Structures are given as structure tokens and as C-alpha cells.
Amino acid sequence: MMNSLKGHTSQNELKGFNSRMQDLGIVPTLSISDKKGECLLAHADFMAFEGDFSAKPSPFLMLNLCTGHIGRMKREGEGPSLEGVLRPGTVAMALPGTIASGYWPQTQMLGIAIKLDAFTLDNGDGFYVENLIPAASQLHNDPLLTAVMTALWRDAEVHGLSGAFFEQGIHTLLNRLVGYEPKHSQKNIVYPLNGRRLQRTLDLMESRLGGDVSVAELAHLTDQDVRSFTRSFQASTGFSPYAYFTFRRMEYAKRLLVDKSLMVTDVALQVGYANPSKFSAAFKSIVGVTPNVWRKQ
């Protein structure tokens, strides 16, 4: 009887979770619940959106990992406000029991919903919403958060959410987030590139995906020195110029890899890598798998 009740609870939680996503016009490609309904995981493509995120508050802490596309987002309302650039690897969170509005770009997200009262800190204390406010006030480009959420996603596709691995991963995420400190005011103000200068920069990068482009050349295009340009570019995109250029090369490489008549060596050359091993390493660092594995998937 107890197992039947738990299964019913998890299905109700999953149904409510999917319903909230559908209210926003989002249909997840993957949606899983654990047996108790204490953790839910979903992966979905999001169209660009602006408005109210939800008509009623969610009982879950939401952790969202961007897995595709780049663009600015904003969240404001109950709980901490949040604004910045989403890019693959960026983690955002929303506290339970809060309603918000704002906007997000076309994006791809992995979401993990967690009931805080089901977990405890390493020292045995419970997780409390107020302890997560500093972490909820900022976007995170934290390799640990990104790696753990990605691992949980891949494991859930095979084993679901009920294994010891998944539970330990959730504990790792929560303990990490509780440790965040409030952001201090920046001493140096960095102004993002304006629309026209940013677009010229991005257009030049796109035209050079098969070759190379220097940061000095990009800085000259925007009438800035290299240091100022690098900071302005990162404020606009969330990437350093080199990291963004590499990311765009790998997106171009994905399109080429779809053509099975091209060898991986050919693709490497077309995206500016004379050394196939360096291309493979760069591709894996961005995409998470080698070009050969990605092509098979």
C-alpha cells in the first residue's frame, strides 16, 4: 500500500511539473520523477519568452542548466532578481514558493526540481531557503555545478532518479550552493558593447570560422584596446572572445559532421584546425563528447 501511495505521489508531482511547463508552451523531450516525487528532472527546448513565468508558486527549488544557445535572461518578482547571459554550462536557480516574471532567449535547458525538506546538509542540518538566497541572486558559471548536473542527466536517462548516485549528486549540488557568498559591488564598471559594435564583431567572427581571427583585430574593429574590448565583449555575451569563437567553431563543426561523407579530419580543417587531435579535444571540451561519438549519437 505504501509503495502504491508513493508511486501515486510521484506521478502527481510529475504531472503538475509538466503542466507548469506546458503553461509556458514548453514540451519536454525528457521528464522523469523519483519514486517519492521529491526530485524531478526534465530537458526541453525553449522558445524566446517574455511575461509571467507561472500563475502559482512551485514547491520545488529549481536548478536550470543551459545546454544550448546564448542570450540574455531576466527574472524579477518574489525572491532574488536575476539578470545576465545564458550560455551552455550556465546554471540559474529559482527558490520554491516564489512567483516571477521576466524573459529568456531561445534556449535549451536541463531542469532539476528538488524538495528541500527531503535532504539534509553534510552536518545533518536541513536546507533552508534563506541559506540559498545568495546563490539564487546570481548566474553561475561553476564547473562543478555544470559537471554534476550533466552527470545526473546522463545517469537519469539510463537508471532514473532513484539510485544512490543521483541522491549523492543532489547533495553535492545543494552543499555547493549553500556555500555561496553574496556578490560584492564591482569597483570597476564595465560597459557591454552596444548593438552595432557587437554585431560587427560577431559577423567578423562568423566569417572567419574556417580560419582565424585575433583579439587585437576585433578590438581594433570596435575602437578599443585589447583589455577593454575583452571585458566589454564578455559583459555582452558571457564569453571571452576566444571562448566564444571556439564555441561558434564547434557549432559549425556539428553542422558539418551531419554530412557522413566528410571525414573528421576534413571537418577539422574546415573549422580552422590543422591538427585533428586538437580539434577533437576542443570539440569535447565544448560539447562533452568527441566528434566521432557525437556523430554516432
Rounded to whole angstroms, how far apart are CA atoms 118 and 103?
31
The CATH class given to the 195-296 domain equals mainly alpha
The residue extents of the domains of the chain are 2-178, 195-296
Helix, coil or strand: residue 129: helix
* Residue segments in the chain with a per-residue pLDDT below the cut of 70: 1-25, 55, 122-124, 182-191
Question: What's residue 88's pLDDT?
Answer: 93
Question: What's residue 90's pLDDT?
Answer: 94
pLDDT over 90 percentage in the chain: 42
Q: Among candidates 93, 120, 108, 110, which has minimal Cα distance to 38? A: 120
Q: Using CA of residue 231, residue 235, residue 236, residue 240, what is the dihedral sign?
A: positive
Q: What is the largest CA-CA distance in the chain?
A: 71
- pLDDT tens digit sequence for 95-110: 888 888 899 888 999 9
Question: What's residue 232's pLDDT?
Answer: 86
Q: 286: which 3 cell numbers? A: 565544448
Helix, coil or strand: residue 124: coil
Question: What's residue 1's pLDDT?
Answer: 21
Classify 220 in phi/psi space as left (phi over 0), alpha (psi -120 to 50) or beta. Answer: alpha
The answer for residues whose C-beta is within 8 angstroms of residue 228's C-beta and 6 or more apart is 219
- pLDDT tens digit sequence for 95-149: 888 888 899 888 999 999 999 888 877 666 777 888 888 999 999 999 999 999 9
What is the fold of 2-178? Jelly Rolls (2.60.120)
262: Cα separation from own chain's centroid? 30
- pLDDT tens digit sequence for 71-94: 899 998 877 889 999 999 999 999
Q: 256: which 3 cell numbers? A: 558539418
Q: 170: which 3 cell numbers? A: 543532489
Helix, coil or strand: residue 87: coil
